[in-house]
């Protein structure tokens, strides 16, 4: 079970790195819950699709070196990786974008039922990201 879950999460990040939203969405349950590092949770595959479209407009990102662990029954997984990115378009409430690059350490947590991801929870250091994209401390 753990091996199957690890393969599922590897497929999720491979699709992410290909910028293949349909492939990512196909790995999610209809009722997936997305818990971002900042902001309110999103519920459902459609809300996740809207989030991906927004992220792809504002950011170009790549997951580097993911380490994925899963519970023995395959119901939970965790991943740690570096996220390399470029800030493409100004995101609401954030500094102006002009192609800045950044690299963050990210932790992600998953719940899995059968062959679908039912929860994605991402965590990263926003203050570090802001410093990397040149946000003023004033």
Domain layout of the chain by residue ranges: 2-132
Would you call 12 helix, strand, or coil by DSSP? Answer: helix
Angle, CA 101 vertex, CA 122 and CA 81 arms, to 5° = 35
pLDDT tens readout for residues 30-49: 999 999 998 899 999 999 99
pLDDT tens readout for residues 86-132: 999 999 999 999 999 999 999 999 999 999 999 999 999 999 999 99
Query: What is the predicted pLDDT for the residue at 134?
Result: 87
Domain 2-132 in CATH 3.30.360.10: no
Query: What is the predicted pLDDT for the residue at 136?
Result: 55
Residues 6+ apart with CB under 8 A from 46: none
Would you call 22 helix, strand, or coil by DSSP? Answer: helix
Averaged over 74-85, what is the pLDDT? 98
The chain-wide mean pLDDT, for the chain, equals 95
Question: Is the pLDDT confidence value at 138 over 50?
Answer: no
Averaged over 66-87, what is the pLDDT? 98
Question: Is the pLDDT confidence value at 1 over 50?
Answer: yes
Determine how β-strand 59-70 pairs with β-strand 76-87. Answer: antiparallel
Query: What is the predicted pLDDT for the residue at 30?
Result: 97
Query: What is the predicted pLDDT for the residue at 38?
Result: 87
CB 111 within 8 A of CB 73: no
């Amino acid at each position: 079970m753990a091996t199957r879950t690890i393969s599922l999460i590897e497929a999720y990040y491979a699709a992410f790195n290909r910028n293949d939203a349909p492939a990512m969405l196909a790995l999610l349950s209809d009722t997936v819950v997305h818990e971002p590092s900042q902001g309110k949770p999103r519920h459902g595959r459609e809300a996740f699709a809207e989030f991906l479209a927004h992220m792809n407009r504002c950011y170009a990102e790549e997951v580097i070196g993911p380490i994925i662990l899963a519970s023995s029954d395959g119901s939970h997984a965790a991943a740690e990786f570096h996220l390399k990115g470029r800030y493409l378009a100004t995101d609401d409430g954030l500094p102006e974008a002009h192609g800045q690059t950044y690299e963050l350490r990210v932790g992600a947590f998953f719940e899995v039922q059968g062959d679908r991801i039912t929860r994605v929870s991402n965590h990263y250091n926003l203050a570090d990201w802001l410093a990397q994209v040149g946000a003023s401390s004033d």
